Structure 1
């Protein structure tokens, strides 16, 4: 029982540290990490249920998640570089205060991607999924793409 309390204390300290360091952004990161873990677990369960689980596919899933982490880190670096340029180059300014933009946008996009995958996995596990939920997640993801200036490929 002591180990459970130690784990709870460590998790609480971690969450508090993220909140102190990043505020709302820390909770966004926690939501994304939680979605990745739930997606991996439900995907593994769905594969087991279908009799298609393989260690290679599980490793590929982990590599896929690592790629997402790298993309978020790159977005964070981009935000830092833009902030430094705006702060230290006198001739460059924006009509608004720039703090962060790319990193939260990328994380929200990944959260929506993960939640869509979680819904698919839940369906593969036998849960009834309301069609409007799947459409809402996809619509939100498209709105994030539109807000980021993504263009549809018309070819």
Structure 2
């Protein structure tokens, strides 16, 4: 029992340290990485189950994930540049403290995309998926799209 309590204390200490280091944004990144891993794993399992696994398709999936990582990095750079501009140009002020915005929207959009894909993969593996879960993920993704569209021209460049 003492080993279990020691393990729990160690996990709590690590999580506390990481939270102090990363804050909530870091945990959002961790959630995204976990979703990417789950998506790749469930997609591979679904393809194997269907007898359709292909190394080319698997490689393309990895390239897709790399592209997503680059997109998140671009959003993080944009947030950094906006923060620098706001900190160094006195004429520009916001009524709140700017930390991150574009990065959060991009990360949440990718998380919703990954969750949608995971749910599809789980269905392909034969597990029943509640319709409301699919709808909730789609609704959240649509909400994030709408918030992002308000930043840009309002047109979806992805489609």
TM-score bin (small chain): 0.7 to 0.9
Report the TM-score when normalising by structure 1: 0.85
The equivalent residue for 2:51 is 51
CA distance 1:74–1:96, shift in 2 (3 Å): same
Write the mapping of 1:91-130 to structure 2, written as runs, cut at 5 A. 91-130=91-130
Displacement of 1:20 in angstroms is: 2.5
- CA offset digits 1:5-41 (Å, max 9, x no partner): xxxx8xx85x555423221111111100000000000
CA distance 1:56–1:16, shift in 2 (3 Å): farther
User: How many residues were matched structurally?
Assistant: 143
CA–CA distance in structure 2, aligned partners of residues 17 and 29 of structure 1:
16
On the 8 A contact 2:149/2:155 being kept in 1, the answer is no
CA–CA distance in structure 2, aligned partners of residues 107 and 86 of structure 1:
22
The equivalent residue for 1:84 is 84
On the 8 A contact 2:45/2:125 being kept in 1, the answer is yes
Report the TM-score when normalising by structure 2: 0.83
The equivalent residue for 2:148 is 148
- CA offset digits 1:39-69 (Å, max 9, x no partner): 0000000000011101111110000000000
Q: Secondary structure at the match of 1:77?
A: helix
The equivalent residue for 1:61 is 61
Which segments of 5 or more consecutive residues in structure 2 lack a partner in the other structure? 1-9
The equivalent residue for 2:71 is 71
CA–CA distance in structure 2, aligned partners of residues 127 and 102 of structure 1:
35
CA distance 1:69–1:18, shift in 2 (3 Å): farther
On the 8 A contact 2:83/2:99 being kept in 1, the answer is yes
CA–CA distance in structure 2, aligned partners of residues 17 and 64 of structure 1:
32
CA–CA distance in structure 2, aligned partners of residues 129 and 112 of structure 1:
16
Q: CA RMSD in A?
A: 1.8
Which segments of 5 or more consecutive residues in structure 1 lack a partner in the other structure? 1-8
Q: Which moved more, 1:19-28 or 1:63-72?
A: 19-28
The equivalent residue for 1:29 is 29
The equivalent residue for 2:39 is 39
